Structure 1
């Protein structure tokens, strides 16, 4: 498991190096090119944040001494990532070049920089909340669509089952009518046999009576 953490650390080191390189490009680029670099660095920040989450999970599985050591490392990585995010905000606003022009002793420039950073952070927080809300809405819509599809499938299954039951009921009804007709015919045949038997008995009795009387 330690080797896995070391692999995570190597990946994190590579990501932060790429982020630092892109921050330099953001500071020196403009327009569409700058926007492209900003999108790239935002993706790298997302990957780095996910990587730190994986590291947190792995650290929890470590024994006591190693766990404390890696927890300290992960905390420092998070602090470093936060500083890099601040550097990105500075680069997007072009604050480094302003410092060179105005100098460190300009109080107004410092106040302006602070306000710009605060406004930028607020905008980014609002943007993240909007993105999160949008993703939640999309996921909810997808979930609702899936549920509706499942309900539609279940409804079709129930309708097919009901149709089969109706067909079975119709077949049973037809069979019942056939059996009833057969029973009626059997009863009629038995009554006819009884009547024929009685007629034969009466005929035989009459014939015997006549024969006896003649003698």
Structure 2
């Protein structure tokens, strides 16, 4: 077997083992450390591919019986390298998914905060409107109560005035009755006075006649 091939093979095996450890470790990392580790693994894979190409060239330059054995090993190393590449892709995809998830979470959080701010603003506007409406309702109720009190006071005054008018009407009826009675009394008195005047006049006339008769008889005798 070629010593050159063995040297490349030894370097590849060490490098492959180191890359496998780094892939395992990168799975537990996050953020910038994971990105740096993945970048180092990619560089190691490039170096491993270079070693495989060198081993391939070296194996093809050897005798057929040796070449067949070495090319079989190379197929195993290439398969191992493909597995490492798949692991790196998984790590990179995980980073992209995590980044996308973080971006979505940040976007969702921003949308949530925006929505929350909008809801809060709408809630404040609604609360302010409710306060204003409540204030108007209270003011309207106060005005209604004042109007009701004023109406009650007016009704009370009207009732008092009605009672006063009824009392005045009753008083006027009483006055009319008294005036009628007084008129009848005065009429009766006036009639009596007239009657008395006639009686007095008659008495005076009779007395005058009697005096004249008496004077006549005295004069004649």
TM-score, length basis structure 2: 0.48
| Pair member with larger Rg | 2
TM-score, length basis structure 1: 0.50
